[in-house]
Structure 1
Amino acid sequence: MVDDSGLDNDTPSPPAYSNEAVFDDDIYGELILLGFNGQTENRATSKRYLTKKVLKRRDVANGIKKCTVHNVASTDNKIIKDKSRHTVSFHSDHNKSVVIEYAQDSTKDMFQIGRASDEQIDFTVIDTWMFLPEHSDAAVPSRPQVDLLEKGDRTSTISRFACRILIDRENSNKAYLYAAGFDAHHNISINQKSLKWTKSNGEVDGLTTNGVLILHPNKDDLLDDTVDKPMYKWREVSINGDVYEPRVTRSSSAKGVYVPEWTNMLQDGTLIDLCGATILWRTADGLERSPKMRELEMALDRLNAGRPQCPVNLNTLVIPKKRNGRQVNRRQPYVYLQCGHVQGKHEWGIHNNSGQRGGKCPICLVESERIVQLSMGMESSFHLDSGVLDHAFNPCGHMASKQTVLYWSRIPLPQGTCRYDPVCPFCYQLLATERPFVRLIFQDNCFDDDTIRFSNEA
């Protein structure tokens, strides 16, 4: 984690994540998919897919390291088909192939991520859009559903064997990301049309079709509070683990500029994007230092214990852990996203434009295009602290601390092939451009100044 000493209250610190699991010496860390708000699994068609994966030290090491380079004819596939060997084969259009053979490395463990459900894939990941909004608690429907993939109207952009991670068995902080994973024959095959090149030292390298992007926490960017500057920068990882500037588009035939000062070694809080799903890496040490889920629940309990009131219905509001969009509950709080006033559900000044609930706030008379339910951001790994839950993402209404919403609103996540936009990490909804989050204003001062600020101001 980056040292945040000397930062003022408006400068976001690196994530202070949390997890309820008791981590021992055999646990390296955890991979968490963005967009599922604490759920451990989701169902797509007849299959269940995990949204989190704990990486543990294997009983028998399965790490690998480069050992031999073969120049062979493309028709000679004996080495490639030999399951006792791990190979990366680069095929050219001259009926020649460069095959890099890997030997066993007893000092490392290897884990693979991809869309395939094959045995050698440790974390099967499919496109986030397949689950949203039907299979999440996202507030604003904006994504297609899983039946589009079944009908063939949309195809996945995640590779079947997307990437692999090698972790030192004695030092879990030495975890390295590489593009592409090995298939059932222990081979990575780079075809003639794929982007590949020969380096100055004669070594061959390449990129996968849609690429594997990586984002590290960066102290220099963190200390620079320039409003219009992205907080962090994405890079692309090659098959050999080198780091490059992202291509103009994800599948471009021209690689980006080599960035030798960047490393493919994962840090606590590193993000990995597979062009369809984004994964957060949390180290075991980072999780141990972080606030636990029970601390976030206590923060929510303190807020509810203050008995915030709806100024229209004159009843007590209760903020839930999960959003319930099917039942009308007068105690469910809603927020006017323009002004931040929190109230119960009522019809005073309410209108529906294009299917969106909006209206004039009865407290300050400011018009809001959206009025959305408030709910807790339940994935503790995305919270920076367990402090006051006095802000919410716009437009979804997931609650978190000021540090948390400020942090995530400054990280542009890849959207498709060439766009980068901030999202709510809990539901993966795109954040509003001009106002990505809002400060919450509850009515009636039931708290002291050290907990949360309530307001009776018009």
Structure 2
Amino acid sequence: MVVKRAADSADSPILEEAGESGSEQKPKPLVKYGELVILGYNGYLPAGERGRRRSKFVLYRRTQANGVRRSKHYVVKTPHSSEAILDASQHSISYTLNRNQAVIVEYMEDPDTDMFQEKATKWTENHEIDGLTTNGVLIMHPRGDFCGGSATCGPWRETSVGGAVFSLRESRSAQQKGLPCLAETNVLRDGTMIDLCGATLLWRSAEGLKNSPTKRDLEALVDELNAGRPQCPVGLNTLVIPRKLAGGGGGAPDLNQPYVYLHCGHVQGEHSWGKDGGEGSRRCPMCLTMGPVVRVCMGLEPAFYVDAAPPTYAFNPCGHMASERTVKYWASVDIPHGTNGFRAICPFCAEPLQGSPGYVRLIFQDNLD
């Protein structure tokens, strides 16, 4: 992955504060490009964030640029004996076209880019070589601004090794590349999604994160909901919305844990009323609607939010809470699945959404409007 280094200007990336003010040897502030956040983790890994195993990656401007760019290329018959290959100080790559022909591409240092790195279709055009990874690197730019809730899901495209943009192949590993999309770019913008066929990343720019809620803001919204002391209409006990769901076990049920009826949205506590259906299905005592019930938990990864509104909606079937616009946005985003399929998922746990529309409005006992 290559990030363009912005020139020092008024609209340069956010500066990350480092050290105490007034120190004579205060470290130089780091320029933050943004964050790559993996879908399916609610702000943390279950086993903890250790080393390179993280739920998100923060990219900062490097002290010295390590990017490279193509300098020149030429066709040779014996690449292993060419001057560029034999020169240890020259960075070059050799691509074999056929038994008697190869293309050597020389690269030179590029002071304007930083690189962050992570058998396929390849082709040549005007003696320049390009290719696709085996299962493809797909990107999706949202239509509209990600922050504010006005964005909609854009078309998924595939990017080549050289940075060209193509329509999707018939399947992820098909040998025939898609049609070129000359008017589109692979430059990331706030809300761009990257699918690596096994992991899906969300890119949040530094400027976009400034306009998003922080984790502290989200925790304050949970505290505000709990301050309303929502009650279970059956047990009449006060419900407490957790910030994290406790692991399953055989212990006594938590009477303060709220549950949501996914077909109607009523939020209640743990009780045995209405268990006259199949496993996991109950009849709501408020409206008598029959349907599945799931524990409610707050979605705490700030990067997934499109606004800072109260969490009044929950995803079906996982029960993660978020703001109305956030839930509706993610329910409308098709995430690549399998060789050529798509499906909407909860960004906090990657659970595929069920039913239509894939979410429910939460109705607490202290707010029955």
TM score, norm. by length of structure 2 = 0.84
Shift in Å, 1:431: 0.7
Aligned to 1:244: 166
Residue 104 of structure 1, CA deviation: 0.4
Does residue 1:314 correspond to 2:236, yes or no? yes
- Please list, as runs of the form range in 1=range in 2, the aligned pairs for 1:36-435 lying within 5 A after superposition: 36-39=41-44, 42=47, 49-73=53-77, 76=80, 84-113=89-118, 194-199=120-125, 201-219=126-144, 231-324=153-246, 325-326=248-249, 327=251, 328-350=253-275, 353=278, 357-368=280-291, 370-435=292-357
Tell me the CA shift for residue 43 of structure 1: 7.0
Query: Structure 1 440/83 Cα, relative in aligned 2: closer, same or farther at 3 Å?
Result: farther
2:21 matched to which residue of 1?
Answer: none
Supply the AA of the counterpart residue of 2:308: S
The secondary structure found in structure 1 opposite 2:216 is helix
Counterpart of 1:96 in structure 2: which amino acid?
A: Q
* Aligned-partner SS, 2:102: strand
State the alpha-carbon separation in 1 of the partners of residues 86 and 350 from structure 2.
40
Letter of the structure 2 residue corresponding to residue 331 of structure 1: N
Give the deviation of 1:281 after TM superposition: 1.1
Give deviations 1:262-294, integer Å, cap 9, x for gaps: 101110111111100011111111112322221
Are the structure 2 counterparts of residues 86 and 429 from structure 1 closer, same or farther at C-alpha, using a change threshold of 3 Å? farther
Any conservation in 2 of the 1:68–1:100 contact (CA below 8 Å)? Answer: yes
Task: Compute the displacement of 1:198 (Å).
Answer: 2.2
Match of 1:31 in 2: 36
Relative distance call for 1:68 and 1:440 in structure 2 (3 A) is: same
Say what the alpha-carbon RMSD is for the aligned residues: 2.9
Following the alignment from structure 1 to structure 2, what is the Cα–Cα distance between the partners of residues 312 and 305? 20
Whether contact under 8 Å (2:212, 2:302) holds in the other structure is no
- 1:316/1:270 Cα in 2 relative to 1: closer, same or farther (>3 Å)? same
Q: Give 3-state SS (helix, strand or coil) of 2:80's partner.
A: coil
Q: Separation in 1 of the partners of 2:52 and 2:146?
A: 38
Q: In the alignment, is the contact (CA less than 8 A) between 2:212 and 2:308 conserved in 1? A: no
Instruction: Tell me by how many angstroms 1:95 deviates.
Output: 4.6
* Bigger Rg over Cα: 2
Q: Distance in 2 between matches of 1:303 and 1:77?
A: 71
Q: Which residue of 2 aligns with 1:188?
A: none
Number of residue-to-residue matches in the alignment: 339
C-alpha separation in 1, matches of 2:85 and 2:258: 60
- How far 1:337 sits from its partner (Å)? 0.4
Amino acid at match of 1:110: M
Match of 2:280, SS state, is strand
Deviations 1:71-121 (A, max 9, x none): 2347728756876444444333435322322110122211113xxxxxxxx
8 Å CA contact retained: 2:226, 2:241? yes
Structure 1 stretches of 5 or more lacking a match?
1-18, 114-190, 445-453
Amino acid at match of 2:256: R
* Gaps in structure 2 of 5+ consecutive residues: 1-13, 19-28
Q: Which amino acid aligns with 1:288?
A: K
Matched residue SS, 1:53: strand
Superposition deviation, residue 235 in structure 1: 0.3
Alpha-carbon distance in 1 for matches of 2:78, 2:260: 62
- How far residue 25 of structure 1 moved from its aligned partner, in angstroms, is 5.2
Preserved CA contact (<8 Å) 1:333 1:343: yes
User: Aligned to 2:40, what secondary structure does the other structure show?
Assistant: coil
| 2:334–2:343 CA contact under 8 A, matched in 1 | yes
**Comparing both chains, which one has the higher relative contact order based on Cα–Cα distances under 8 Å and sequence gaps of 6 or more?**
1
Task: Tell me which amino acid in the other structure corresponds to 2:288.
Answer: L
8 A Cα contact 1:321 1:375, kept in partner: yes
Judging changes above 3 Å, is the alpha-carbon distance between structure 1 residues 284 and 428 closer, same or farther for their aligned structure 2 residues?
Answer: same
Deviation at 1:416, TM superposition (A): 2.1
TM-score (normalizing by structure 1): 0.68
Q: Which amino acid in the other structure matches residue 425 of structure 1?
A: P
CA drift of 1:323 comes to 1.0
